[in-house]
Amino acid sequence: GAGVSQSPSNKVTEKGKDVELRCDPISGHTALYWYRQSLGQGLEFLIYFQGNSAPDKSGLPSDRFSAERTGGSVSTLTIQRTQQEDSAVYLCASSPTTKHYEQYFGPGTRLTVT
């Protein structure tokens, strides 16, 4: 079946502009996660959605970052007033209800802020 998809695959933007990154999880997966991966670093947790519960936003690095998940499926990560330090690969993952911590990742969006 179809895996997690993310778009765009690459995004180059100028400092100060807003960007939106999209994630389509595996159908039927109720949990959705966003991570950031910088060069030479592990995955940094950003935000987690589980069903209709309030999202866990504890990993968002600043109020310039926000995310929403519409209809329990597609999610959008928005970064406002981008900074050069926001350059990274942004990964989305989804997980089925019964195996909450076994995550299936998308290919990521590589964001470059110039």
Partner 1 sequence: TQLLKQSPQFLSIQEGENLTVYCNSSSVFSSLQWYRQEPGEGPVLLVTVVTGGEVKKLKRLTFQFGDARKDSSLHITAAQTGDTGLYLCAGVTQGGSEKLVFGKGTKLTVNP
The CA-atom distances, in angstroms, between 73 and each of 24, 37, 45, 49 are 7, 23, 19, 10
Q: Which residues bind partner 1 (CB under 8 A)?
A: 4, 33, 35, 40-43, 45, 56, 58, 91, 93, 99, 101-108
Our CB check for partner 1 shows the closer of 14 and 40 to be: 40
The residue type found at 42 is G
Nearer to partner 1, 80 or 110 (CB): 110
**In the complex, least distance from residue 105 CB atom to partner 1, rounded to whole angstroms:** 3
Question: Which residue type, as a one-letter code, is found at position 95?
Answer: S
Provide, rounded to whole angstroms, the least separation between the CB of residue 107 and partner 1.
5
DSSP state of 83: -
Diameter of the chain by CA atoms?
A: 42
Smallest separation, CB 16 to partner 1 (Å): 28
Between 10 and 78, whose beta carbon lies closer to partner 1?
10
The type of residue at 56 is: D
| d(C-alpha 63, C-alpha 100), whole Å | 27
Q: Write down the residue that tokens 């499926």 correspond to.
A: 73
Nearer to partner 1, 68 or 102 (CB): 102
Q: How far is the CB of 45 from partner 1 (least distance, A)?
A: 7
